[in-house]
Amino acid sequence: MPRKNSSTKSVRSFRLSLECVRQLKDLSGNMGRSEGDVVEVSIDRMYREEIRFRNLMISEGQKPEENYKVGKEQELK
């Protein structure tokens, strides 16, 4: 159960695997939070981790795909 209704949050819909739904329900029950809150916390944690390990560029004017090299430079040699 959500702690409060918030009309300021947008509504989204996602297709999740059965395993993901089970994990979401487990986390929700253990944390005592709504499934929506669990999704918010999870995304926030992942976002912060991506920034921490420099996999995500914020306001640097770079394209994130530039961080992921496949090895084309090696193929040219």
Domain span at residue 29 reads: 16-59
User: How is residue 11 annotated by DSSP?
Assistant: P
Cα–Cα dist 20/14, whole Å: 11
- The count of domains in the chain is 1
Q: Check whether 36 has a pLDDT greater than 90.
A: yes
Please give the model's pTM, rounded to 2 decimal places. Answer: 0.60
Residue 3, C-beta contacts closer than 8 angstroms, at least 6 positions apart: 33, 34, 37
Tell me, yes or no, whether 50 lies in a domain: yes
Q: What percent of the chain has pLDDT over 70?
A: 64
Instruction: Decide if 46 is inside a domain.
Output: yes
Question: Does any domain span residue 77?
Answer: no
pLDDT for position 22:
98
